[in-house]
Structure 1
Amino acid sequence: MDGIRETGGHAEKLGYVGLGLMGTPMARRLLAAGHEVMVWNRSPTKAAALVEAGAKLANDPHEVARVASIIFTCVTDAAAVEEVVFGRNGLAEAPGAGRLVVDFSSIHPEATRAIAARLRQANGMGWIDAPVSGGSKGAEEGTLAVMAGGDAADVERARPYVLAMARRLTHMGPTGAGQTTKLCNQVIVGGAMAVLAEATRLAANAGIDAARLPEALAGGFADSIPLQLFVPRMVGGIHSPPLGQIATMLKDLDTVIEVARNTSTPVPMASLAAQLFRLAKVSRGADADALEIYKLSGDTD
């Protein structure tokens, strides 16, 4: 069948559970690539557009797992992953032999190792932790970076389907390695958001055109994708659609701090960024765009 990768002599059927800011555009890219996809979301209305695009709608995660051989999940936190996997009509209740879960959620490395082990014991289903970086823009454009933990053969099995949604998939090691890599990513991204907000506010308060910072610094040591992407949005007050929510960034930075404590790793910059995002959560709201951290130091309109 056109657009369907043949694996082991048969076409994989795909499932996608969790259709939020990231899940919806990622599932849409699978459909656009010609793959057969069954979807489920706790709020069924979010699946309507995907069903119109050709997806099949499941009644629960259990039904997704009965139909699909590879199940992608992308939900908010470890509690949501637990509910999808082990809750009523969850993935663990379906036959698991030969099936593989690829979890794009960002959760604690220990949580992903525990969930993977419990699921394998429950029904033999495989697990890859595969958090992503690139935000909703990357999900829409298929430019995400995916960092994976799990068995090498499982990662290679999932690779062609992941690369229908992302630009890069890197196998970082055993289960949990993908989540640990994502924490390193969030140290850099969360810190960059805080630093760029500071630099942008300094420019504005000192009377220069902050919107020209990306142009002025392009090609120099300060140049980066965050500089080019974040600063125009900060200056222009462009926060819809959000690149990521304040609550999500804070969750990840708090996980960084916990893992750092358990590994005796000093993380002073990530800790400061976490406190700034905690202030932003109180000031702007948990669901606000993470780039609204810029508004902590000046105008809030």
Structure 2
Amino acid sequence: MTGGRPRLGYIGLGLMGTEMTLRLLERGWQVTVWNLEPERVPPMVAAGAVAAASPAEVAGASDIVLMCVLHMAAVEACVFGPGGIAEGAAPGKILVDHSTAHPGRTAELARRLRDETGMGWVDAPVSGGTVAAREGSMTVMAGGAAADMATVAPVMADLAANFTHMGPCGAGQTAKLINQAIVGTNYVLMAEVLALAEASGIDAARLPQCLKGGHADGTLLQQLYPRMQARDFDPPRAYARQLLKDVHAVEEFVAGLGLDLPLVTAAVRRHDAHVTPENAMVDPASIIRLYDKKK
């Protein structure tokens, strides 16, 4: 503890991790950072963070370790791989995993980490994008023990406008999969209604204002649709490969429950068509290009 506040670590300085780390530094937290690609570390150090040589070193220097990495394999590597968090873990420390990962596997790894080291685990995937991360207005859906939730709550208060405890470890990831089912299908829907509006001859740019306050309104119509309409994809707010990974995870989860959800399946196929190798690192809003090609 420093000045009565937990010492924080952050592992994974991608688009979201960078903005969250900057937010925490601005709010006065001590943050030790590590990233697989080392070139992302110096800007955080310039902003006041302390660099670490490994996830284990981050864990050793921190009371609460936050992590946001690409996928389940990266989570496992950062926690239990060589130089991983488990090597610097100790009773009373807590890992807060902001990655989007598999619910069941998350629960298994959380049990293992607690059994082997005494370190707690809160799965806390996020929604809202980089702007919300920077402003501290994210939505965080969380799973874990109530005591761990209480410990991390002051940190989450500086990062999230909505921090909801959904149940035991894995419950946050389940809620995130449902979130991504909504997001993934609606990215396709926004592209298709934009294509419809443009083809119909109306002023497509005025549609969000026209529909504001009605049943069709929402943040995707008010925020995503205008970016699609303006073809405003640079710099990317997220990466298409990430949303593709997430909707495939939704499809796998749905199949595991024995459900048939045709709308979700159709949306996944649209993302498959869009995310070719050259589109992997573009903003997922660029899925409208699938429909531009048909003009």
Q: Structure 2 length as normaliser, TM-score?
A: 0.96
Q: Which residue number in structure 1 is paired with residue 11 of structure 2?
A: 17
Stretch moving more, 291-300 or 66-75: 291-300
Secondary structure of 1:163's counterpart equals helix
Secondary structure of 1:170's counterpart equals strand
**1:298 paired to 2:285:** no
Q: Identify which of 226, 230, 234 aligns with 1:236.
A: 230
| Structure 1 gaps, min length 5 | none
The Cα of 1:266 is off from its aligned counterpart by: 2.5
Matched positions, count? 294
Q: For residues 127 and 260 of structure 2, what CA distance do their matches in structure 1 show?
A: 23
Q: Which residue number in structure 2 is paired with residue 73 of structure 1?
A: 67
Q: Which residue number in structure 1 is paired with residue 35 of structure 2?
A: 41
Residue-by-residue CA offset, 1:257-284 (whole Å, 9 max, x unaligned): 1111121222211111111001010275
Q: Which residue number in structure 2 is paired with residue 160 of structure 1?
A: 154
Q: For residues 208 and 185 of structure 1, what CA distance do their matches in structure 2 show?
A: 31
The Cα of 1:241 is off from its aligned counterpart by: 2.8
Q: Is the 8 A contact 1:70 1:100 kept in 2?
A: yes
The Cα of 1:16 is off from its aligned counterpart by: 0.4
Stretch moving more, 111-120 or 130-139: 111-120
Stretch moving more, 14-23 or 121-130: 121-130
Q: Which residue number in structure 2 is paired with residue 62 of structure 1?
A: 56
Q: Is the 8 A contact 1:284 1:292 kept in 2?
A: no
Q: Which residue number in structure 1 is paired with residue 180 of structure 2?
A: 186
Q: What one-letter code is carried by the residue in structure 2 that aligns with 1:163?
A: A
Q: Identify which of 227, 249, 262 aligns with 1:255.
A: 249
Secondary structure of 1:59's counterpart equals coil
| Structure 2 gaps, min length 5 | none
Q: For residues 273 and 96 of structure 1, what CA distance do their matches in structure 2 show?
A: 43
Q: Is the 8 A contact 2:52 2:58 kept in 1?
A: yes
Q: What one-letter code is carried by the residue in structure 1 that aligns with 2:149?
A: V
Q: Which residue number in structure 1 is paired with residue 201 of structure 2?
A: 207
RMSD of aligned C-alpha atoms?
1.6
**1:98 paired to 2:92:** yes
Cα distance change, pair 29–260 in 1 and its aligned pair in 2 (3 A): same
Stretch moving more, 151-160 or 241-250: 241-250
Stretch moving more, 143-152 or 131-140: 131-140
Residue-by-residue CA offset, 1:115-151 (whole Å, 9 max, x unaligned): 2122122212110000001011211222110000010
Residue-by-residue CA offset, 1:78-103 (whole Å, 9 max, x unaligned): 01111111111111112421110000
Q: Which residue number in structure 2 is paired with residue 150 of structure 1?
A: 144
Q: What one-letter code is carried by the residue in structure 1 that aligns with 2:241?
A: A
Secondary structure of 1:49's counterpart equals helix
Q: Is the 8 A contact 1:103 1:131 kept in 2?
A: yes
Q: Is the 8 A contact 1:136 1:242 kept in 2?
A: no
Q: For residues 283 and 220 of structure 1, what CA distance do their matches in structure 2 show?
A: 38
Q: What one-letter code is carried by the residue in structure 2 that aligns with 1:237?
A: R
Residue correspondence of structure 1 range 281-296 to structure 2 within 5 A: 281-282=275-276, 285-296=279-290
The Cα of 1:39 is off from its aligned counterpart by: 0.6
Q: For residues 92 and 192 of structure 1, what CA distance do their matches in structure 2 show?
A: 38
Residue-by-residue CA offset, 1:42-85 (whole Å, 9 max, x unaligned): 11221212111111111111111111010000000001111111
Q: For residues 41 and 89 of structure 1, what CA distance do their matches in structure 2 show?
A: 13
